Amino acid sequence: MTGSLLYPRVTSSRMKLSLDGMWKFKFDEAKAGLSEGWEKGLKGYEMMPVPGSFADLYTDKKKKNYCGDFWYETEFVMPKVNDKKVLLRFGSVTHRGVVFLNEVKIGEHEGGFLPFVLDITDVVKTGTNKLVVKVNNELSEVSLPCGAVKKNRDGSLTAKPYFDFFNYSGIQRSVELLILPEISVEDYELVYELSESEARVNCRVKLSCAEGDDGSLGVNISIIDENGKTASELELTKQDNAYIGTLTVSEPKLWNVLDPHLYDMSIKVHDEKGVIDEYTDRIGIRTVSVEGTDILINGKPVYLKGYGKHEDFDILGRTFNYSVAKRDFECMKWNGANCFRTSHYPYADEWYQFADEEGFLIIDEVPAVGMMRSTRNFVEAGMGHYTYFFETPTVPELLQNELNQVEEMIKRDKNHPSVIAFSLFNEPETTSEESFEYFSRVFERARELDPQKRPLTGALEKNSSPEKCQCYPLLDFICLNRYYGWYISGGEDIYEAEEKFRDELNRWKALETGKPFVMTEFGTDTLAGQHSLPGTMWSEEYQNEYYEMNFRVLDDYDFIKGELVWNFADFQTSEGIFRVGGNKKGIFTRERQPKSSAFVLKRRWEELKDRSK
């Protein structure tokens, strides 16, 4: 495994080759693949798209819901390269993968939503190479997300998520070969400080050869403005294992909410003979902070409007698709949103690049979801049922897994101007001392890792009440998922829902946390085209009334600094009596057409255009 999670770029010194396409594929129900030597080549295979989520491609129910081991294989031709490093990058393998190249095991990775990169220089051959990947999509109480596996009578397995989204799996993001110079940029980080007329950009670059660098190398960074003019350039200084320096950009054009200004950045590594490596990226100069009950971008308060989302689309499952992403941003801009949370896992790199270009704010979430022992968590959570979790002996293993994934997420996403906060959990049990100990470790680690020291948060469910929640003091702004008028006092009891919601917010207010609050989930399941007057549960009218009631309440509390409704679009879940063809809380249908609530939000968010507080 290499340390670099930089997005693969082609530059004067770097090449990439896509391995996407149709790969050989085979389920391994008996988990016999390893003992039978499947890494030498699959027999009796079918073809499967990479990237892709396999589930919704099938017409057979057992295959759609397959849980266990499954294998992929492809061949690729490696062009002749001299004195280069060859890396293999997987955008995501869900939930874990073991990789074999030319029959040699070259690495493995746990966690289905973040990239990993393997150095294959010594194993890859000029000419044809065979790449085989063993994937597994089982859930457990040490996996992120958490869940269980049920063993059926015929020996097959079924995934039982403790979370409310379909357990899409496979090689779900692109696979690429990266051909890099032997000495290359491994990572970089930028931290911004703003003053009246200039920005200071504190920069730190790590090279792949940190230890072996004898001091003969130089590292240069330049920032180029929208007109192609160099705004600042600097030769960095070697300090310990990195190259550091502070650039000054005068009269900078700041990256702002829905008004993004991006600069091109280029890092060049050189020796006395010339440039050895170049890495380029798009950067945005901006600061993020929390002061009192305000969330500040470039020192100015912002009010978050938008959505909890999913990577989810018909047939594609969780596969990234530029056209779907484009449509999503168009829909979000149309109704005045400025923010989304990557509920409940880090999304494909391209989502963040898109948000950088559009000026959208992202709360970036690690897949710490389902940390409550229930396959109907979303219902239990909404109703405030206590299900213990952090008292079990496997928790140290879970913690290690979460720490690794927090590290990978921050490493991958830290340079995106769109990322304004990291969310380190969704709706875990937070009322025990054990939960506090667990999350103290996670927050402490994240604080060390983020060079920009962005706000850290997590989304709290109903049982995490002002009186019982032990973990909210860890959060820089407090995120609440609340369903007053749906799971609590829904339908004819909606009047009580309003009282109960106000009562809870009054209790939070009484705590005088001095922190901003953001509603990260509230919503109702709504069948597009279901109408009723007066509004009744599941109808479009009810969804509208629900939101009007919720907004009335939120507007009375000035510590609320954002409203991210649940969910942007209808999405797929496991089957169950609470879900009609999936979760229908979308403001848009799964095909990205508006329900009437989309217009309610549009009206509100356009009126709130200038609301910053």
164 or 476: CB nearest ligand GCB: 164
Instruction: Report the nearest approach of ligand GCB to the CB of residue 164 (Å).
Output: 4
Q: Cα 226–230–232 angle (5° rounding)?
A: 115
Torsion of CA 386, 387, 391, 394, to 10 degrees: -160
359 or 582: CB nearest ligand GCB: 582
33 or 382: CB nearest ligand GCB: 382
Identify which of 487, 457, 489, 450 has the alpha carbon closest to the alpha carbon of residue 471. 457
- The DSSP code for 478 is E
159 or 257: CB nearest ligand GCB: 159
Residues 6+ apart with CB under 8 A from 277: 11, 13, 14, 180, 181, 183, 184, 185, 268, 269
187 or 427: CB nearest ligand GCB: 427
- The two structure tokens encoding residue 521: 């989930």
C-alpha span between 184 and 270 (Å, rounded): 10
Indicate which residue of 73, 521, 540, 563 is catalytic: 521
C-alpha span between 36 and 558 (Å, rounded): 63
Scanning the structure block, which residue is given the tokens 């340079």? Answer: 415
Instruction: Report the nearest approach of ligand GCB to the CB of residue 579 (Å).
Output: 9
Which of 94, 174, 481, 526 is in the footprint of ligand GCB by CB under 6 A?
A: 481
Instruction: Report the nearest approach of ligand GCB to the CB of residue 160 (Å).
Output: 15
Q: What x/- string results for residues 495 through 524 when contact with ligand GCB is judged by CB under 6 A?
A: --------------------------x---
94 or 343: CB nearest ligand GCB: 343
CA torsion through residues 418, 422, 423, 425, sign: positive
Residue 380, interface with ligand GCB (CB under 6 A)?
A: no
Identify which of 231, 109, 124 has the alpha carbon closest to the alpha carbon of residue 171. 109
Q: What x/- string results for residues 526 through 565 when contact with ligand GCB is judged by CB under 6 A?
A: ----------------------------------------
The verdict on whether 103 is a catalytic residue reads: no
Identify which of 208, 176, 189, 179 has the alpha carbon closest to the alpha carbon of residue 4. 208
Nearest residue to ligand GCB on Cβ basis: 378
Residue 342, interface with ligand GCB (CB under 6 A)?
A: no
- Residue 361 CB coordination number (10 Å): 25
Instruction: Report the nearest approach of ligand GCB to the CB of residue 523 (Å).
Output: 6
- The two structure tokens encoding residue 569: 């679009």
Instruction: Report the nearest approach of ligand GCB to the CB of residue 369 (Å).
Output: 7
Q: Cα 552–555–556 angle (5° rounding)?
A: 95
C-alpha span between 287 and 32 (Å, rounded): 52
Residue 110, interface with ligand GCB (CB under 6 A)?
A: no
Using N-to-C axis directions, what is the helix angle for 540-554 and 597-607, rounded to 10°?
20
**DSSP secondary structure letters along 275-314:** EEEEEEEEE----EEEETTEEEETTEE--EEEEE--S-BT
Which of 286, 445, 561, 585 is in the footprint of ligand GCB by CB under 6 A?
A: 585
Stretch of residues binding ligand GCB (CB under 6 A), selected from 81-89, 245-253, 376-384, 602-610: 376-384
68 or 308: CB nearest ligand GCB: 308
Residues 159-198 that bind ligand GCB (CB under 6 A): 163-164
Indicate which residue of 311, 402, 427, 504 is catalytic: 427
CA torsion through residues 292, 298, 304, 307, sign: negative
The verdict on whether 402 is a catalytic residue reads: no
8 or 458: CB nearest ligand GCB: 458
C-alpha span between 94 and 103 (Å, rounded): 22
C-alpha span between 259 and 415 (Å, rounded): 18
Number of residues that bind ligand GCB (CB under 6 A): 14
Which of 583, 586, 588, 597 is in the footprint of ligand GCB by CB under 6 A?
A: 583
Instruction: Report the nearest approach of ligand GCB to the CB of residue 416 (Å).
Output: 23
- The DSSP code for 493 is G
Stretch of residues binding ligand GCB (CB under 6 A), selected from 178-186, 375-383, 441-449, 549-557: 375-383
Instruction: Report the nearest approach of ligand GCB to the CB of residue 189 (Å).
Output: 31
Residues 81-100 that bind ligand GCB (CB under 6 A): none
Residues 6+ apart with CB under 8 A from 609: 336
Stretch of residues binding ligand GCB (CB under 6 A), selected from 378-386, 470-478, 555-563, 603-611: 378-386
Instruction: Report the nearest approach of ligand GCB to the CB of residue 377 (Å).
Output: 7
Instruction: Report the nearest approach of ligand GCB to the CB of residue 511 (Å).
Output: 22
Which of 380, 427, 545, 563 is in the footprint of ligand GCB by CB under 6 A?
A: 427
- The two structure tokens encoding residue 163: 């979370």
Residue 381, interface with ligand GCB (CB under 6 A)?
A: yes
**DSSP secondary structure letters along 224-272:** E-TTS-EEEEEE-EEETTEEEEEEEEES----BTTB---EEEEEEEEET
Interface residues toward ligand GCB, by CB under 6 A: 163-164, 344, 378, 381-382, 426-427, 461, 481, 521, 566, 583, 585
User: Which residues form the catalytic set?
Assistant: 427, 521
